């Protein structure tokens, strides 16, 4: 049994658009294979879920920046207050 390998499939992080546009090669006539509609549906679902994960990660990173900035501001205010500025 052979394993399908694309030269470009694993270069860099996958984006939702890359997953949605990905096409597996067709099998030769008379050989077993996957149903194209099922593979396409799976790829579209994976693209959607990858997009959602990317969106959620961006939200978490933005919240993390907001919290870090608030902490830095609070620390500066507390340090100034303690030193009597």
Q: Do the domain assignments include residue 67?
A: yes
Residue 2 has pLDDT above 60, yes or no: no
pTM reported for the whole predicted model: 0.62
Helix ranges (H only) for 1-85 are 16-21, 36-83
Q: Do the domain assignments include residue 1?
A: no
* Number of domains into which the chain is organized: 1
Q: Do the domain assignments include residue 56?
A: yes
Alpha carbons 50 and 63: distance in angstroms, whole number: 20
List the domain range (segments joined by +) for residue 67. Answer: 34-83
Under 8 Å CB-to-CB from 54, ≥6 apart: which residues? Answer: 15, 16
Query: Which pLDDT value is given to residue 23?
Result: 77
Query: Which pLDDT value is given to residue 79?
Result: 93
Q: Do the domain assignments include residue 51?
A: yes
pLDDT digits (tens, 9 = 90+) for 6-61: 555 556 777 888 888 877 777 777 667 777 888 888 888 888 989 999 999 999 99
Alpha carbons 34 and 53: distance in angstroms, whole number: 27
Q: Do the domain assignments include residue 50?
A: yes
Q: Do the domain assignments include residue 40?
A: yes
Residue 76 has pLDDT above 90, yes or no: yes
């Amino acid at each position: 049994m052979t394993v399908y390998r694309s030269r470009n499939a694993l270069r860099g992080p996958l984006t939702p658009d890359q997953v949605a546009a990905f096409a597996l090669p067709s099998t030769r006539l008379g050989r077993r294979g996957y149903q194209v509609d099922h593979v396409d549906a799976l790829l579209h679902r994976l693209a959607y879920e990858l997009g959602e994960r990317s969106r959620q990660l961006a939200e978490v990173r933005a919240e993390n920046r907001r919290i870090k900035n608030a902490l830095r501001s609070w620390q500066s205010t507390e340090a100034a207050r303690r030193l009597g500025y």
